[in-house]
Amino acid sequence: MTNDHAFTAQDLKGTHLEPTFAGALSFMRRKYSRDLAGVDVAVSGFPMDTAVTNRPGARFGPRAIRAASTNNAWNRPYGAAFEPFDRLSVVDYGDCQWDHGRPETIPAAIEAHADKILASGAALLSLGGDHFISYPLLKAHAKRHGPLSLIHFDAHSDTWDDSQGAGRVDHGTMFYHAAKEGLVDPRRSVQVGLRTHNDDHLGFNVLDAFWVHENGSAKTAAEIRRIVGDHGAYLTFDIDCLDPSFAPGTGTPVPGGLSSAQAIAIFKGLAGIRFVGMDVVEVAPAYDVSEITALAAAHLAHEWLALFAVGRQSRG
């Protein structure tokens, strides 16, 4: 019996058992590696929180998500017919690096980091970090896949007008730029769980938190599938989509959000969508309680890997 599979694993597939309370931390106990040969999904952290407008601390999100993921690493997502790691070769690629003293260089560093991973043919599962990271990540994905459907879970639209702020680094305007630059197609994109006002959604379809509560998870998932169709989709999950009772450890919490159970049920209803990538962002562990926010993020990332495996299998 061996442990510390983050370093000792010989096979990139399969589930390795070791104590949840000990051992080297990687996402879901996957092997740390910068070798992308034969890799289906690379997991990478983007520890940035300089774009926040309220409480900082999401730079520690990737570390917290990795630690919380040990709770799930021993078993497949409940209700899944298979363990995604039996079908996917997944590595923890470590974190993106940049010069913190030159913040203006960070967006390009994130994009270049993603470019390198995607050029190998691997998909990218990104751990934030604040939500700004989605913008350079979308740039990299759109270069490879063309304009994308954005499936965006959040309390906020992040499409506020930034027409006078070229080059600004702000976690509330990324999807304004993504839409204006053609990185995403708003008509085939959907924002889920919103509960803050924005008078201009730039053509994005919106299923706000009240719509989800009234119509339920199954209908929400069906509507997302209808909007996206067979278009390539990128999923971004701001953890503040969840109600603060389920995700207190975040920078901009808003009451009235989704429960963890609702979010998981919606994810399970998205099987068959042609996903190309995902990020989960805005976990700020300094404000967390018993790691419940980081645990929710880790669980949703695991659920997405199962969705990615299903979609990959259906495409042959």
Residue of 128, 127, 130 lying closest to 50 (CA atoms): 130
Q: What is the pLDDT of residue 53?
A: 86
Alpha carbons 99 and 86: distance in angstroms, whole number: 37
The answer to whether 200 is a known ligand-binding residue is: no
Q: What is the pLDDT of residue 18?
A: 79
What value does the CA radius of gyration of the chain take, rounded to a whole number of Å?
Answer: 18
Alpha carbons 46 and 49: distance in angstroms, whole number: 9
The answer to whether 161 is a known ligand-binding residue is: no
The HSE-up count of residue 98 (CA atoms within 13 Å, CB side) is: 23
The answer to whether 95 is a known ligand-binding residue is: no
The answer to whether 240 is a known ligand-binding residue is: yes
DSSP three-state, residue 143: helix
The answer to whether 158 is a known ligand-binding residue is: yes
The strands making up 90-95's β-sheet, listed across from edge to edge, are 31-32, 90-95, 41-46, 123-128, 275-281, 233-238, 149-153, 190-192, 205-207
Output the six-digit token pair for 187: 């008509």
The answer to whether 49 is a known ligand-binding residue is: no
Q: Are 236 and 134 in contact (CB under 8 A)?
A: yes
Q: What is the pLDDT of residue 23?
A: 81
Q: What is the pLDDT of residue 316?
A: 53
Question: Domains (ranges, CATH) in the chain?
Answer: 5-314 (3.40.800.10)
DSSP three-state, residue 287: helix
Alpha carbons 52 and 239: distance in angstroms, whole number: 14
Q: What is the pLDDT of residue 313?
A: 61
In 91-172, which ranges are continuous DSSP H helix?
A: 106-119, 134-145
For tokens 């969705």, what's the residue?
307
Q: What is the pLDDT of residue 3?
A: 81
Q: Are 144 and 118 in contact (CB under 8 A)?
A: yes
Q: Are 279 and 291 in contact (CB under 8 A)?
A: no
Q: What is the pLDDT of residue 315?
A: 61
Alpha carbons 28 and 240: distance in angstroms, whole number: 22
Q: What is the pLDDT of residue 73?
A: 79
Low-confidence ranges of the chain (pLDDT < 70): 1, 165-166, 313-316
Q: Model's pTM, two decimal places?
A: 0.94
Spatial CB neighbours of 94, under 8 Å, sequence gap ≥ 6: 32, 34, 44, 45
Residue of 246, 247, 224 lying closest to 234 (CA atoms): 224
Residue of 194, 204, 301, 196 lying closest to 258 (CA atoms): 194
